[in-house]
Amino acid sequence: GTRIIYDRKFLMECRNSPVAKTPPSDLPDIPGVTSPNVEELKIENNHVQNSDEKVSAGEEEQFDMDI
């Protein structure tokens, strides 16, 4: 058979296409695969809140360097 070979420039341009950024309209709803899992959303929200709390609490970064 014949192979279709794409060059790097073409592929990099395709990644910015609106079609590449939207999922197909006929995808089934599968939690954790095609839509976020409810538990994953809770974990992400807690992680974001925890990291915000640490910054606001005045803790230093783990790798603070004195130059």
Look at 15 and 52; give whichever has higher pLDDT. 15
What is the distance of C-alpha 41 from the center of its chain?
13
Model pLDDT for residues 26-42, shown as the tens digit of each residue = 888 888 787 777 665 56
**pTM for this one?**
0.34
- The mean predicted confidence, pLDDT, of the chain is 75
Q: How confident is the model at residue 53 (pLDDT cuts 50, 70, 90)?
A: low
- How far is Cα 36 from Cα 43, in angstroms, rounded to an integer? 11
Query: Which class for 28: exposed (0-12), middle (13-18), buried (19 or more C-beta within 10 A)?
Result: exposed
What is the distance of C-alpha 4 from the center of its chain?
29
Say yes or no to pLDDT of 12 above 60.
yes
